[in-house]
Amino acid sequence: MMHKPHILLFTCLTLAAFVSCQKIENDSYLRPAGTVGTWHEGVGVSDKNQRVLLEKYTGPRCAFCPNADLIIADASARYGSKLIAAAIHDSSSFGRPLGIVDLRTDEGNAWCQYFEITQHPIVMLNRTKENGQWLKVDPIGGVNDPIQTVLQDTAGVAISIRCVSDADSLLQITVNLDALTDIPGELMLNLIITEDSIVAPQMQSSGQRLDTYIHNHVLRQVITDIWGTPLPSTLKKADRLEAQFEYVWNSANLNIRHCHIVAFLTEKESHRVLNCDQCSIESAL
C-alpha cells in the first residue's frame, strides 16, 4: 500500500517505468503493480533446468510448414517443459493470410527482418549465434540434436512465471528470477502471449489448401517492448528477484483457455535467450 509521504517517489518511479516500456495497442500496456515496477527480493525458482525457446518462422502459404509442425510437436512431447515453442507469422509472402484470420504481428515481422529470416519454415533456438551468424535450423531436417546441444548448457539463471486474469482482461503477471552464477551485462525481460488451437487455412505439402488446419503456439501479442523491459542491474550469483506486472490485453480474438504467457530473459546487446518459462492463464474468479 502507498502512503502519502511517498506520493512523489511513487510518481517518479511510475513515470520512469512508463518511459522504459512501449505502449502496445490503444489501452493495452505493461505497467507496474504493487511494487511500483521495481524488482525486489524473491522466493527463488524450484526448477533450475536450462530450457529452450524455439521460435519457428512460418505462415499459411508455407506448404512445408505443416511437416515442420509435426516434427516440433514430437520434440515437445520428448522434451516436455524444457522446450517452449512460439510460431511467428510475419509479413513475407508466406505470411499473407488465406482467409479472414490474420496471424501476423508487427513484432514478428520486425524480428523476421532483424534476424534475417529468408526461408520458411526456419527455427531459431534461444537466439544464439555460431561463427558470428544467427544459428538457424531447418526443422524439416530434425530439431532434436540442436535442441539437445542447447540443453546441455548449464543454466546461468532460472526463471518462473505465473499469471492470473480477472473478468476485465487484466492480467496479473508474477516473474521470479534465481541467479545460479554471475551474469555480466544488461538484461531484458521479455513477455509474450501465444495461443493454441487456432483454426485457419494452411497450405499443405501436397499443394492443397486445408481450411480446418489447427495452428498452435502462435505469437499473438508482445506485452513488453519488442526487445523486452530492462532489469535494474546485473545479476550476481544467489540473487533472487521478483517483479509483478499488470497488462490489459486485447482479448477480442483470443481464447484465454488456449493462451500461454511466455517469459524469457535475454542479453540486451546480443538478444541471446538465457532461459525461459511459460504458464497458462489462471482465473481469479
* CA proximity to 129, closest of 273, 262, 18: 273
CA distance 274 to 238: 16
pLDDT tens per residue across span 158-204: 999 999 998 678 899 999 999 999 999 999 999 999 999 999 999 99
Kindly give the pairing relationship between strand 157-165 and strand 273-283.
parallel
Q: Which helix (H) or strand (E) holds 65?
A: helix 65-79
Instruction: Indicate whether 8 belongs to any domain.
Output: no
Give the residue numbers spanning the domain of 48.
24-283
Q: Is residue 93 a part of any domain in this protein?
A: yes
Residue 12 lies in a domain: no
Please, is 250 exposed, middle or buried when counting C-beta atoms within 10 Å of its C-beta (0-12, 13-18, 19+)? middle
**Are 37 and 243 spatial neighbours (Cβ–Cβ below 8 Å)?**
yes
**Cβ-contact 88, 57 below 8 angstroms:** yes
Residue 236's domain is classified under what CATH number?
Answer: 2.60.40.10
Q: Identify whether 143 is part of a domain.
A: yes
Grid cell digits, residue 268:
540486451
Task: Give a yes or no: residue 98 inside a domain.
Answer: yes
**Domain count across the chain:** 1
pLDDT in tens, 96-135: 999 999 999 999 999 999 999 999 999 999 999 988 889 9
